[in-house]
Amino acid sequence: MATKRTMTLNLTDAEMQVLEELSRKKDLTKTAILRQALRLYQLLDVRMERGEKMYLEDESKGEKSEVMVL
Amino acid sequence: MSNDSIVQIIRRSDGSFVDANLVRGVKPQDLLIVEREWIADRTDILHELLDKGVARENWPQSLHWNWQRKAPELTLLAACGLGVVCERQWQGVMMTKSAPYVARLGADRGQPLIYIDYIETAPRNWPIPEIGCKGVFRGIGSLLFWEAVRQSREEGFHGRIGLHALPQAEVFYQQACQMTPLGHDAAKQNLLYFELSRQQAERLFQARGEQ
């Protein structure tokens, strides 16, 4: 495993609640959830910079919407 | 190279164990070397297959792969490269992804897993009876697969693994790796998709005495 560094993260109660819920739901530590989020964010950013688009689709309603990432 | 550890692979000619380096931090530049090392063997094999008139369906199905083209993917946080070096040559490499893949199987559905995007042993290690190739080393694919299971556990994914298998490798994943086939995937060249569940991984860890 790569060398790791520690940082302090300030979250609101709501943000911490979501982190804890995801941690429980995905059976991952909070650190692992944030690491996954960062990996996904980078992946999406790289692909969107290439000009690719990301969509969310609800097949039952026949709806498709483009996702924008900041 | 960094993060190396010593592992053993098997020389096909006499069944002897040979020390090799397992490289856990394969870099994009390493994949350029892999391709430079392997391209000549790929070309020689193709030449022999054509010369001997071997039917296309019997050609090694990763014959056209090019690791140089895959190298930029290793710059992503979600990607990880592992490889085996022996006798100063790359004997096998694997690229795994820790995002955005999730399990489809039973109780693990929706949980994160390590997805094996590419795994290949060096062309010099392929046994191809049709052209008289016996291959130099074996045991590399199993070794790399097991490292992916370990990576999954280190990431907190409990050993869960997913992959799409080339048809020639389906038996290996189902029998040697004890993965579950979950059907052909139209979104991935209709390849058969396999998963190793948390429960299956736990059984493998127990069988290997790694709990």
- Tens-digit pLDDT profile for residues B21-41: 999 999 999 999 999 999 999
- Decide if pLDDT at A65 tops 90: no
Cis previous bond, B112, omega within 30: no
Determine what percent of chain B is predicted with pLDDT higher than 70: 99
In this structure, how many other beta carbons lie within 10 angstroms of the beta carbon of residue A6?
5
Residue from the list A2, A27, A43 with its beta carbon closest to the beta carbon of B99? A43
Q: Does B28 touch chain A (CB under 8 A)?
A: no
Question: By C-alpha distance, which of B149, B137, B60 is closest to B96?
Answer: B149
Structure tokens at A42: 């980078």
Alpha carbon of B152: minimum distance to chain A alpha carbons (Å): 12
In this structure, how many other beta carbons lie within 10 angstroms of the beta carbon of residue A67?
10
What are the structural domains, with CATH classification, of chain B?
A: 4-207 (3.40.630.30)
- Decide if pLDDT at A68 tops 90: no
- What is the pLDDT, as a whole number, of residue A58? 86
Handedness of CA B117, B173, B33, B22 (dihedral sign): positive
Identity at A19, one-letter amino acid code: L
pTM above 0.90, yes or no: yes
Query: Residue A17 CA to chain centroid, in angstroms?
Result: 15
Residue from the list B24, B77, B156 with its beta carbon closest to the beta carbon of A29? B156
Handedness of CA A45, A46, A49, A55 (dihedral sign): negative
Structure tokens at B191: 């390849």
Q: Does B200 touch chain A (CB under 8 A)?
A: no
Alpha carbon of B158: minimum distance to chain A alpha carbons (Å): 9
Q: Does B155 touch chain A (CB under 8 A)?
A: yes
B180 — pLDDT class (breaks 50, 70, 90): very high
- Decide if pLDDT at B188 tops 60: yes
- What is the pLDDT, as a whole number, of residue B1? 42
